[in-house]
Amino acid sequence: MKSSTITAVGIFAILLVLVLLLPRATKQRLQGTLLQWISPVLRTGASVQQELGGVRGGLKRLDELERENQKLKLENEQLRATNSLLNNLETEVNRLNRALGFREQSPFKLLPARVISRESATWWNTCTIGRGSKDGIATDMAVVTENGLAGKVTTVGKDVAVVLLVSDESLRVSVSIEGTQEQGIVSGTRASSSYAPDLRIRFLSKTANLKPGMKVLTAGAGGVFPSGLLIGTVKDFSVKELEGVASVMPAVDLADLQDVFVILRQK
State yes or no: pLDDT of 199 exceeds 90: yes
266's CB contacts (< 8 A; 6+ apart) are 107, 108, 109, 226
Q: For the residues 225-247, what does the mean pLDDT come to?
A: 94
With CA atoms as reference, report the closest residue to 186 among 235, 141, 128, 259.
235
DSSP 207: T
Q: Where are the domains of the chain?
A: 24-105, 106-266
Query: Contact 215/189 with Cβ under 8 angstroms?
Result: no
Query: Residue 173 pLDDT > 80, yes or no?
Result: yes
- How many Cβ atoms are within 10 Å of 117's Cβ, its own excluded? 11
Fold (topology level) of 106-266: Thrombin, subunit H (2.40.10)
Residue 197, Cβ neighbours under 10 Å: how many?
A: 20
The pLDDT, as a whole number, for residue 6 is 60
Per-residue pLDDT tens digits for 84-99: 777 777 676 677 777 7
Highest mean pLDDT among 22-26, 68-72, 196-200, 242-246: 242-246
pLDDT of 32 higher than 60 = no
Q: Is the pLDDT of residue 46 over 90?
A: no
pLDDT of 195: 66
CA gap 39, 117 in Å, rounded = 89
Say if CB 229 and CB 173 are below 8 A apart. no
What pTM did the predictor assign? 0.67
